[in-house]
A and B are shown apart, each in its own frame.
Chain A
Amino acid sequence: MISDAPVLQQSSEPAESAAAPSRLSRYARPMLGLLLPLILALGWELVVWLGWSNGRLVPPPSRVFATIAELARSGELIRHIAATLWRVGLGFAFGVIAGTLLGAVSGYWSLARRLLDPTVQALRAIPSLAWVPLFILWLGIFETSKIVLIAVGVFFPVYLGVMGAILIVDRKIVEVGRTFRLSGFAMIRRILLPAVLPAYVVSLRVGLGLGWMFVVAAELIGASEGLGYLLLDGQQLGKPAQILAAIVIFAILGKLTDWLIEVAAAPFLRWQDAFGRTKGT
């Protein structure tokens, strides 16, 4: 927000003073957050190294990383990651498309909302995993049922986010559009879209989180590859290091994809007056 705003002469002074503390905290803050897990990991490493525990059920970090390295060397890791990413990616895409379209329709037309929303809300009340047996019956146990399950998980937060955001667009701002005689399409492009964008990004992130949750469920049910398969395989063969390795990679991928959405959206949300932006440092 600070770095690339075209700042004029007069306003350069507050920008500078604001940049100084945030530059420091940009590096200091993540470091601080890493402290606790690092201490725990090193501590456990030490405990196992000193021989106080054999670390069979809770392997020390070095063994987990050794497992990851080994999987990576054999090319297995890439194959599993690719399979999982592919499923999450497709499921997320379908869920987002469906959620955005239906959410926009229900938010924009009250008639559609009255027709559609009760059904969607009723479906939402069903725990999504309850669909699994049905999806497997209908779609088989291969890719389709997994992707549909993930898409279902992604759909609801996106649908609710889009519809809710449209419903609470400030009537006063819409009126500004009307006084400048914006037609339906221009009104959507110049007023509604920017107004719903912050809530939309949040709903995408929530949806992605659910997508990651559901890919684990889907892959635990039956898969021959994927990170979820690594989890299951590690359990059945008694390899806790492999389970932890898969968990670590899930965490990294989850955080990374979430960060991608955040970064992609950031240029469009610089205007926001959010609490986290101004006081978060």
Chain B
Amino acid sequence: MLVLDRVSKTYPNGVQALARFSAEVSQGEIVAIIGGSGCGKSTLLRAVAGLDRASSGRVTLDSEAIAAPHAKIGIIFQEPRLLPWLSVADNIGFGLADLSAAERREKVARALARVGLADKAQAWPRELSGGQAQRVAIARALVPQPEVLLLDEPFSALDAFTRRDLQDHLLDLWADTRPTLILVTHDVDEAVALADRVLVMRPRPGRLFDQIEINLTRPRDRNAPLFENFKRSVLTSLDRSLDRNVPDRDATQGPGQAMWW
């Protein structure tokens, strides 16, 4: 279980990005974090990843405190961040330096096949499309089999079709080993499609505002009325988190309005 216990973060310039954020995420759960721009989502994720230290409070994974990057925690950023001097295969094997070459080759080959890029093994990252590159990044993060995978707006730079493809693909990969997923997103549709639970954050300073359980079985039908209902409640909660007047959301909404930020 991943526990965030009153995590606060004040940057050296005095910005209080996070204020006493607490949450518990059980093993294998998929949690989406959504909230206004600048409300501290990335800050939170970086604290969980051990990339930045919280000013106070603590993050524990199975009661082990996380203060530095941990073998059981992987992270995927908004950009693929592939190493341009390594082939696709070597990028995926980057986190497997401890294994023997043969073991590494085998795991990488399996991961490549799993993300459908077996034919790109020897390609350079620059030869990939944005969606392919992000799939490589996902494979690289998953291949060491982390217990927790953090994703910071992983699909936001992709077009709508690729994004949906990769969302389904992520779920598919998740089903293999069922790591805990914590997904920061601006896309309400994405949050409801993937998550067991949506955490809504409130800005200045960033803190937890609301939690919405998404009680839908997988695979989820994005056109089902129930799916729409959940989207509406997330949107309503988002509006309230920013002290906006809650519009009448019963009027049918175009898909464009599902993107929220």
Contact = CB atoms under 8 A, between A and B. Distances in A.
A81 B55 CA distance: 65
Contact of B85 (A5, A9, A175, A194): A194
Contacts of B119: 8-11
A10 B123 CA distance: 11
B17 to A, nearest CB: 18
B83 A191 contact: yes
Nearest to A197: B85
Contacts, number: 58
Interface stretch (A91-99, A157-165, A177-185): A177-185
B79 A7 contact: no
Interface in B39-82: 49, 51, 68-71, 74-75, 77, 79, 81
- Most chain-A CB neighbours within 10 Å: which of B86, B94, B121? B94
B122 interface: yes
B79 A172 contact: yes
A179 B75 contact: yes
A271 B75 contact: no
A129 B70 CA distance: 54
B124 interface: yes
B116 interface: no
A11 B126 contact: no
B40 to A, nearest CB: 18
Contacts of B51: 175, 178-179
Contacts of A191: 83
A175 B95 contact: no
Contacts of A5: 122
Nearest to A271: B85
A11 B49 CA distance: 37
Contacts of A8: 119, 121-122
Q: Is the interface of B mostly helix, strand, loop or mixed?
A: loop
A179 B83 contact: no
A179 B84 contact: no
Contacts of A11: 119-120, 122-123
Nearest to A270: B124
B84 A175 contact: no
B81 A173 contact: yes
A191 B91 CA distance: 12
A7 B119 CA distance: 9
A271 B124 contact: yes
Interface bracket on B: 20 to 34
Interface string A1-45: 000011111110000000000000000000000000000000000
Contacts of A272: 84
B81 A180 contact: no
Interface in B166-194: none
Contacts of B69: 178-181
B99 to A, nearest CB: 13
B81 A176 contact: yes
- Most chain-B CB neighbours within 10 Å: which of A6, A181, A197? A181
Contact of A194 (B68, B79, B83): B83
A180 B85 contact: no
A7 B125 CA distance: 15
Nearest to B119: A10
Interface string A184-216: 001000110011010000000000000000000
B95 A173 contact: no
Contacts of B122: 5-8, 11
- Most chain-B CB neighbours within 10 Å: which of A10, A178, A271? A271
B127 to A, nearest CB: 8
A173 B83 contact: yes
A10 B70 CA distance: 38
B88 to A, nearest CB: 11
A279 to B, nearest CB: 14
Nearest to A278: B126
B56 to A, nearest CB: 22
B94 A180 contact: yes
Nearest to B124: A271
Given A172-B81, A173-B81, A194-B85, 18 more contacts: A7-B122, A8-B119, A8-B121, A10-B119, A11-B122, A172-B79, A179-B49, A179-B74, A179-B75, A181-B68, A190-B94, A191-B83, A194-B83, A195-B85, A268-B85, A271-B84, A271-B124, A272-B84
Interface of B: 49, 51, 68-71, 74-75, 77, 79, 81, 83-86, 94-95, 97, 119-126
The 4 tightest CB contacts between A and B, nearest first, are: A10-B119, A194-B85, A273-B126, A271-B85
15 contacts: A7-B122, A8-B121, A8-B122, A11-B119, A11-B122, A172-B79, A175-B51, A175-B81, A176-B81, A176-B83, A179-B75, A190-B97, A194-B83, A270-B124, A273-B126
Interface of A: 5-11, 172-173, 175-176, 178-181, 186, 190-191, 194-195, 197, 268, 270-273
